[in-house]
Structures are given as C-alpha cells and as structure tokens.
C-alpha cells in the first residue's frame, strides 16, 4: 500500500488561489499586533508556521504587500483573503489558519503582542501569553 505523504490544502474565499502544505504544520500562534488587526480586519490572526519549502501555490498566485520593512503579507488579489506572511530571512512561512480547508486541526499554543489586544477579544489564559514577540 502506498504511503500518502501528509499534506494540508487551503485557499482563498473566491477559489482563485489554492495552496498545499506538504509535511507537518509546525506550530500556531494568535497574533494580536495592530498590523495583523488591520491586515485581516479582525481582533487577531491565528497563524500556522510551515517550512517555506513545503508551501506550494497550486492555483493562481498570491499577491504580496510589504506592510512594514521586511514583512510581506500575501493575499488573494481578487477577493482579498489573507493567506500567507513571512519576513525577510525567515526560515518559516506562516499561513492563516482560517484559510486551511480544515482549520479545526490547528491548535494555537501562544498569544503574542498582547500589548495590542483589543478589549473585546477574550484571551484563552491556558495558552502561553506574551506582551510582545517572545525571545
Ligand atoms: Zn480569492
Ligand atoms: Zn501580528
């Protein structure tokens, strides 16, 4: 019996952009920074780290915007769904948990940039919590 490699598919709301992550999802964090709030239009973003070489766009293309120096946010140029983010020189890429076809498999382990937390966002205190980006 052939062994099927583990992979996770995802894409944007309108279906123009599809991607596949081969291998494991590495870890997940809820980011409460103002840039994520603005970029997504929500209180925080749940990101999932993946090895950059394991992320492949299989349909369409991701449109990128350098939203702060060295930080690149990727989204669908048609429907605007946020899909990916990475910084210059980062080993890992980060996909948005909600853009995965099966977001329920994601288990965030930490909250970061809680110094930007909105008062209407309820924090899961069982997760590790950081005011800024952990060292
Ligand atoms: Zn789209
Ligand atoms: Zn952020």
Q: How far is the CA of 62 from the centre of ligand 1 (A)?
A: 9
List C-alpha distances in Å: 94 to 47, 64, 100, 122: 6, 13, 12, 23
User: For the structural domain made of 7-129, what CATH number should be given?
Assistant: 2.170.150.70
Ligand nearest to the CA of 16: 1
Ligand minimally distant from the alpha carbon of residue 44: 2
Burial class (CB in 10 A: 0-12, 13-18, 19+), 51: middle
pTM (2 decimals)? 0.92
pLDDT score of 132: 87
**Distance from residue 23's CA to the centre of ligand 1 (Å):** 24
Q: What angle do CA 9, 79, 123 make, to 5 degrees?
A: 70
**pLDDT computed for residue 48 by the predictor:** 98
Show pLDDT as tens, one digit a residue, over the chain (135 residues). Answer: 555 568 999 999 999 999 999 999 999 999 999 999 999 999 999 999 999 999 999 999 999 999 999 999 999 999 999 999 999 999 999 999 999 999 999 999 999 999 999 999 999 989 999 998 886
Query: What is the per-residue pLDDT for 2?
Result: 54
Q: So where are the chain's domains? A: 7-129
Burial class from Cβ neighbours inside 10 Å (0-12, 13-18, 19+) for residue 55 reads buried
Q: Say how many C-beta atoms besides its own lie within 10 A of residue 24's C-beta.
A: 13
Ligand 2: distance of its center to the CA of 58 in Å?
26
């Amino acid at each position: 019996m052939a062994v099927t490699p583990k992979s996770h598919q995802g894409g944007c709301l309108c279906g123009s952009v599809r991607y596949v992550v081969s291998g494991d999802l590495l870890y997940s964090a809820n980011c409460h920074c103002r840039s994520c709030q603005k970029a997504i239009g929500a209180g925080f973003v749940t990101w999932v780290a993946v090895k950059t070489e394991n992320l492949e766009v299989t349909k369409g293309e991701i449109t990128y915007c350098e939203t702060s120096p060295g930080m690149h946010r990727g989204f669908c140029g048609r429907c605007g769904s946020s899909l990916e983010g990475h910084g210059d020189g980062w080993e890992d890429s980060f996909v948005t948990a909600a853009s995965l076809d099966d977001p329920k498999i994601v288990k965030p382990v930490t909250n970061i940039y809680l110094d930007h937390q909105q008062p209407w966002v309820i924090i899961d205190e069982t997760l590790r919590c950081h005011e800024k980006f952990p060292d």
